[in-house]
């Protein structure tokens, strides 16, 4: 087994600690293995791998998700820099509905964040020049795209830094409306 798994306070969220092997040449680490991680992707295969580079510390990207039937599991890894990575539970009927959990991901930590279907995801950069790698179990479908506002008081996300950059698109994501019951993944 090349991974150690750690549960988070919100059911379904996991942290994966990769086991790195070092020798005089450098190191080897397995970033993904479908057999070992199948339980966390609901038996789905990785359909898409994306990369982001964010230039300035304090920038926010998010909070994004896809509606069913294109809901996705994301596995997020920081390749360079340091980020505050946040997931918000949007699952209908969940006992942690609208709660968030954040973890710091950084270069050299060998940790990935598993974000299941039914969660919004975003991050804030804590250093300049951050690079993230995302594994997705669904192809991006514009018609299934969803988002919530990173500054929605109902979410109370504890962003650790003053915001330096956020796209107009992310700034204009909607606040959660009264009566929103969550995402139905059934």
Residues annotated as catalytic are 64, 134
Q: Is the peptide bond before 69 cis (omega within 30 degrees of 0)?
A: yes
Beta bridge mates, 21: 28
Q: Is the peptide bond before 81 cis (omega within 30 degrees of 0)?
A: no
Query: Max CA-CA distance within the chain?
Result: 59
DSSP secondary structure letter of residue 170: H
């Amino acid at each position: 087994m090349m991974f150690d798994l750690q549960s988070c306070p919100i059911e379904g969220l996991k942290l994966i600690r990769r086991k790195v092997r070092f020798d005089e040449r450098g190191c080897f680490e397995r970033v993904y293995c479908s057999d070992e991680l199948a339980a966390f992707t609901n038996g789905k295969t990785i359909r898409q791998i994306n990369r982001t580079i964010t230039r300035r510390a304090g920038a926010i990207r998010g909070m994004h998700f896809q509606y069913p039937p294109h809901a996705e599991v994301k596995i997020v890894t920081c390749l360079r820099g340091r980020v505050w990575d946040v997931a918000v539970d949007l699952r209908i009927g969940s006992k942690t509905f609208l709660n968030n959990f954040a973890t710091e991901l950084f270069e050299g930590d060998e940790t990935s964040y598993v974000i299941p279907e039914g969660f919004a995801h975003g991050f804030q950069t804590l250093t300049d020049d951050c690079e993230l790698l995302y594994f997705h179990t669904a192809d991006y479908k514009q018609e299934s795209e969803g988002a919530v506002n990173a500054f929605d008081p109902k979410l109370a996300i504890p962003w650790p830094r003053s915001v330096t950059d956020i796209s107009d698109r992310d700034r204009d994501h909607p606040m959660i409306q009264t009566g929103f019951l969550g995402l139905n993944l059934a």
